[in-house]
Amino acid sequence: MYETILSPINYGGLTLKNRIIFAPTSMGLPREQWLERMRTISAGGCAMIIIGDVPVSKHGFGPSLYTKKGRALYQELARIVHGEGCLLCAQLHQSDSNLKAMLKYVPGVLGKKISMEQLRPLLNEEVGPYITGLPAKKVQEITDSFGVAAGLAKEIGFDMVQVHGDRMCGSFSSPLYNHRQDEYGGSPENRARFAVEAVEAVRRALPDIPIDFKLPVRQETPHYGNAGVLEEELGTFIPLLEEAGVTSFHVTLANHGSLTDTIPPRSHPYFGEEGCFLKFCDRVKAVTKLPVCGVGGLTDPDFVERQLAGGRIDCAAMSRQLLADPNWPKKVAEGNLAHLHRCVRCNRECLGGMMAHRGVHCIYDQKEEQS
C-alpha cells in the first residue's frame, strides 16, 4: 500500500533502504539518553539519521570531531545506528553567533531579566555586523574547515555529510545580514560563495562522498526567514552548488526568525498544514534534477506516500513525528496504522523542552512512563 515510502532510492550516490530520514535535531540530552534515543529511532526503521549541528571548527558548540571524547561519542553512535541497519549523516555546521556580542547579554540572562525567547532576536541582531565584518582570510579558513571536518566524519563512520546551508552559510546568502563589499557580498553569485566554497572543500577532501545540502529558503510574501536563499534566487544558487559538488538537497524554511516558524505548531497562522514546507521543494524541483528531501509537519502515511509517488519529493524527513513514534516506518511497513502515535504538533515537550533546557522529549514519553 505504501510502495514508494518503502522503496529504496539512490540518494545522491548513497542507497537508502526506504524514503524516511530523521531530520537533524538538536536534542540537548545527556550522552546515554541521546545514544538510546538514536538507537530507538534507527531501530524503528528509518533509512538514515542526520545528526544536526556537528561543528566544523575546533571550538564550536557540541561534541567535537577534533577531540578524543567527541570522536568516541560519534564512533559509538555509528556503531549503534549501523547495528540497526540505518545509515548516518553528519550535518556540518558553522555558527554565526558573535561570541563577543553574546557576553554582554550574560548578566541579563543569569539575572533572569532576559528570557531565552528574548535572547534569540537579540543575538540575531548581532549576526549582520559579524558576518559583514569577518576578514576574508578568516572566511576562507572557515570554509576550508568544512573539508577537514568531513574527512574526520568519514573516518569516524558517517556515511554522508550534509552542509548546513543555514547558520553562517545562510547568513552569507542573505542580503539582510550580508552587507559585504568584497567577493562574498553584493550579487547572488557572491553571496553564494561561502556555501560554494564550503561544499568545494568537502569535495576536495572526499572526492566520492555524497554531499547533501540543507537548503534554507526565505520568502517575502508574507515574510518568513531572514537568512537563507530568497525564492527568486534559487535559480542562481542551486546550479552553483551542484557544480561545487552537492548531490542532493534537503529543503526547508530559512532560520533566524521565530523558532515557531521553523518548527511550526499546528496552530501556526501560515505553516499549520501537513507538509507545510513542501511548497519550497516545488521551487527547487523546477531548477534541479538531483534528489530533493522535503520536511515540515509530515505525519500522515497517506499524505507522505502521495508526495513521494507523485515525484514532488524524493525522500521525506521527519523529526517530531519520529520522536513521537520512532516505529513509524516499521508500523507503516506492517500496515499497523491503528497503533501509530501521530505527532499533534503541540511543541510542548520537543521545542518546549529545548527552550527550557531539559532536552527534547515528547508528550507520548510521559504517557508511556505513566502506563
Instruction: Give the percent of the chain with pLDDT over 90.
Output: 84
pLDDT of residue 369: 45
The verdict on whether 167 is a catalytic residue reads yes
pLDDT tens-digit readout, 161-188: 999 999 999 999 999 999 999 999 999 9
- Domains assigned to the chain: 3-370 (3.20.20.70)
Closest CA to 323 of 53, 54, 38: 38
Average pLDDT over residues 265-286: 97
d(CA 53, CA 70): 13
pLDDT of residue 367: 57
Pairing of strands 48-55, 87-93: parallel
pLDDT of residue 356: 84
Q: Which of 19, 37, 71, 167 is catalytic?
A: 167
Yes or no: say if 225 and 255 are a contact pair by the CB < 8 Å rule. yes
pLDDT of residue 60: 73
pLDDT tens-digit readout, 119-153: 666 677 788 899 999 999 999 999 999 999 999 99
Local structure of residue 230 (DSSP, 8 states): E
d(CA 60, CA 83): 29
pLDDT tens-digit readout, 188-228: 999 999 999 999 999 999 999 999 999 999 999 999 999 99
Q: In the predicted model, is pLDDT for residue 17 greater than 60? A: yes
Closest CA to 366 of 354, 353, 355, 357: 353
Burial class (CB in 10 A: 0-12, 13-18, 19+), 367: exposed
Strand-pair partners of 55: 93
Burial class (CB in 10 A: 0-12, 13-18, 19+), 122: middle
The rounded mean pLDDT for the chain is 93
Number of Cβ within a 10 Å radius of residue 133: 11
Closest CA to 226 of 319, 125, 134: 125
Confidence of residue 110 (pLDDT cuts 50, 70, 90): low
Strand-pair partners of 90: 51, 161
Confidence of residue 371 (pLDDT cuts 50, 70, 90): very low
**pTM greater than 0.75:** yes
